[in-house]
A = this chain, B = another copy of it.
């Protein structure tokens, strides 16, 4: 039992997975021997101060993988080890993701993490309960391919009020996450499309649209965003941008560049701008900037947003606003795809927004992130001699660009050595740099703060300070 002193990391990785991995390691390395009894789930939960369900989940996984056995009325015992290695070996091979996710760093400044600690579980639970006790079979039947009209009306109103998006409910398609909607958009744009991206950009969008387009290409960007002059010289008929907060560079596109981009699109019938407004809810300085779609007079912008970032990653609901021309193409050719979001979830989400709970939640999150953001900037004050700080007006990450000629790899490795995981901007490159670009590249580190507490930010940065000799 003394072997089960598990140091849990509260860095966003699953608690049950940490417990599972710890015990698995103990068994594999022989520290827990075949036939040895494990503590009861109740005991271990109390001991580690986690919920019993968490321990049960860990035990279940160990059970299902054959590491432990359950003896009725007695408890859990370590299973025969010889048999295990083989099973395990063959499983590991096909589990690159789980392996990748294993993270030995105590502080993870992931730019994708969000804070789930303030999620209004009670409200969500109450709305769920109400939804399930209402008109039964309707909620359980298959809804419209685009999503329920009621939810789309609500989203249209919300997008207009918060992001200035001009659209009717009929232009909205609700889908299970951005990846799915990008796939659908890939179909709608067609196999002949040529799509331009910045480099670095959001690599997932590059990958998904690349599966369906004829060609993808990259265009350089300056401090105002993508270069429209360069875009004009390509044969691209669509361009993927994040005008509110470019990932990873954090650039907010000014109105002038937006107009240039819209102007480019208006010069041919089949040109489109894909606006990914992934974290527009979180802006800390200056007045809110409406979406690019809000300035679109000629039906050129495809607008994509999600509640997975603003509510919870488990809620797989994203929305795409199609301009009329693409809407027609969707209706004619692709509207046979069944909706990917359960009507129950749609009904709950609709109620969550209409009830005002979404707005309250967003305001709470904005405040929370703003505080973390300030703590982070405060902590980084003495970094400014060695790094240029940027991207600090919006979103859930800021950037540090090195002034000392160190490489991203060096900086990341030094941080990891101190127990801090940081991310390099090179990870968001979708095409290799030319020799010339490589020479001009300045090592840039992304620091995401969404998933960490204020205390973790302070501690993490103090470790970074030592690791980088500041």
Binding site for B on A (CB under 8 A): 14-16, 51, 53-54, 57, 60-61, 64, 91, 94-98, 116-117, 119, 121, 124-125, 128-129, 132-145, 149-150, 153, 168-170, 176-180, 183, 187, 204, 207-208, 211, 308, 312-316, 327-328, 331, 335-345
Closest 5 CB pairs of A and B: A142-B313, A176-B340, A116-B137, A140-B312, A314-B343
Q: List residues of chain B with CB within 8 A of the CB of A57.
A: 135, 138, 150
Q: Are A134 and B343 in contact (CB under 8 A)?
A: no
Q: Smallest CB-CB separation from A308: which chain B residue?
A: B142
Q: List residues of chain B with CB within 8 A of the CB of A91.
A: 168, 170
Q: Are A179 and B338 in contact (CB under 8 A)?
A: yes
Q: Given A132-B128, A169-B64, A335-B96, do A313 and B140 touch, yes or no (CB 8 Å)?
A: yes
Q: List residues of chain B with CB within 8 A of the CB of A119.
A: 136-137, 140
Q: Measured between alpha carbons, how far is A97 from B53 in the docked complex, in Å?
A: 44
Q: List residues of chain B with CB within 8 A of the CB of A96.
A: 331, 335
Q: Are A180 and B176 in contact (CB under 8 A)?
A: yes
- Within 8 Å by CB of A340, from B170, B180, B312, lies B180
Copies in the complex: 2
Q: Are B141 and A313 in contact (CB under 8 A)?
A: yes
- Provide 12 A-B residue pairs closer than 8 Å at the C-beta atoms, listed in order of the A residue: A14-B138, A16-B138, A64-B169, A91-B168, A94-B170, A96-B331, A125-B129, A140-B314, A176-B342, A179-B337, A179-B340, A208-B337
Q: List residues of chain B with CB within 8 A of the CB of A316.
A: 176, 338-342
Q: From A145, A208, A337, A342, name the one whose CB has the most chain B CB atoms within 10 angstroms.
A: A342
Q: Measured between alpha carbons, how far is A138 from B331 in the docked complex, in Å?
A: 37
Q: Given A129-B129, A134-B53, do A150 and B61 touch, yes or no (CB 8 Å)?
A: yes
Q: List residues of chain B with CB within 8 A of the CB of A149.
A: 61, 64
Q: Smallest CB-CB separation from A208: which chain B residue?
A: B337
Q: List residues of chain B with CB within 8 A of the CB of A14.
A: 138, 141
Q: Are B142 and A94 in contact (CB under 8 A)?
A: no
Q: Measured between alpha carbons, how far is A128 from B128 in the docked complex, in Å?
A: 8
Q: List residues of chain B with CB within 8 A of the CB of A211.
A: 187
Q: Are A138 and B15 in contact (CB under 8 A)?
A: yes
Q: Smallest CB-CB separation from A61: which chain B residue?
A: B149
Q: List residues of chain B with CB within 8 A of the CB of A95.
A: 170
Q: Smallest CB-CB separation from A324: which chain B residue?
A: B94
Q: Are B135 and A51 in contact (CB under 8 A)?
A: yes
Q: Measured between alpha carbons, how far is A468 from B315 in the docked complex, in Å?
A: 50
Q: List residues of chain B with CB within 8 A of the CB of A313.
A: 140-142
Q: List residues of chain B with CB within 8 A of the CB of A315.
A: 140, 342, 344
**Shortest beta-carbon distance from A378 to chain B in Å:** 27
**Shortest beta-carbon distance from A356 to chain B in Å:** 17
Q: Smallest CB-CB separation from A54: which chain B residue?
A: B135
